[in-house]
Chains A and B, each alone.
Chain A
Amino acid sequence: MDHTAVKDHAHAEGTQHPVAIYLWIWLLLFVVSSFSYMVDYFHVQGVLRWTLILIFMIVKAGFIVMIFMHMAWERLALKFAILLPPLALLVLIALMAIEGNYTFLTRLASFVH
């Protein structure tokens, strides 16, 4: 009984979205991709460049995960199970950035003198 309910749910979920929503997201992904390409094409530099690149990256990733991968329509428990663990990576990124800077400074100190 549970099994058929799951099937019906999946079936209903798939048919609920009209094709239009995919076409819109597709178009938006094109637009945002060209924006990020423009950042390079027009030689935007420094903090503005990095901010724009990261914003466009997150917007695109959000569209793909939420709409194309249907995460927006999943139960909150599944969203938590899949989307929260990667947050641990922020710790790794922070540690490796600190480590990288330390290595860089050590190299400078031993190469230059």
Chain B
Amino acid sequence: MATDVITAGAGAPALEGLAGVSADLAADKQAFPVPWGKLMMWIFLLSDTFIFSCFLTGYMNVRISTTAAWPNVSKVFSLAVGQTEVPLLLIAIMTMVLITSSGTMAMAVNFGYRRNRSVTTSLMLITAGLGACFVGMQAFEWSKLILIEGVRPWGSHLGAPQFGAVFFMVTGFHGLHVSAGVVYLCVIAMRVWNGFYDRKGTYETVEVVGLYWHFVDLVWVFIFALFYLW
């Protein structure tokens, strides 16, 4: 385990537990012994957590307060396989695709630290491909809802008018995050491939992209549970 934690810079042994917290925060040194980019990504993700939490809390509020019946989400997002309607099938597939992409991303970070250029690049491109696949399925889901079901941000015949507003805002914002992540992954994958991080001497940027990508998956976990399953 990480027992060789960086110390105060003076070579003193690092304290653990609560004493470690106060030493890290109070000592005249860098408080968080992690690469700067990684710390800033964590802080960005923390702020993004608040954005998505506000959306989901707003969703909870309108769903509690509406007097119209909430649409049967399980039925709205069902897919026909042959003759039978399988509930939430598309959403289940999207969930599995995103989890798979998180797995390939975690492996990419691992191979990055082993300085394996080709495997890291291919794993990152696979991750980006799965992300693009997710966005494609979301586009399909949106067009089905807009064109066939006639759902609009201000109402639909399915039930409560708030359904459309919440759906387009929450999944739209998440979809934008996934799309941005695909671009981000491709840029960093290209840099891994042409040896930029070998020259820089560290592959920590791959871990930073990984943090962003896992966060996108994490947000989907909450949307899946609270919007699609609730």
Contacts and interface: CB of A to CB of B under 8 A. Distances in A.
Contacts of B20: 75-77
B224 A92 contact: no
A104 B21 contact: no
B5 interface: yes
A7 B200 CA distance: 11
Nearest to A94: B57
Interface of B is mostly: helix
A78 B202 contact: no
Interface stretch (B87-95, B143-151, B172-180): B87-95
Contacts of A107: 65, 67
B62 interface: yes
Interface residues of B, number: 77
Contacts of A111: 67
Contacts of B207: 10, 14, 70
Count class of interface residues, chain A: 35 or more
Interface in B74-114: 74, 87-88, 92, 95-96, 99-100, 102-103, 105-107, 109-110, 112-114
Interface of B: 1-2, 4-6, 9, 16-18, 20-21, 24-25, 29-35, 38-39, 42-43, 45-46, 49-50, 53-54, 57-58, 60-67, 74, 87-88, 92, 95-96, 99-100, 102-103, 105-107, 109-110, 112-114, 201-204, 207, 210-211, 214-215, 217-218, 221-222, 224-226, 228-230
10 contacts: A15-B114, A23-B103, A37-B88, A70-B207, A74-B34, A75-B20, A75-B24, A77-B32, A96-B58, A103-B64
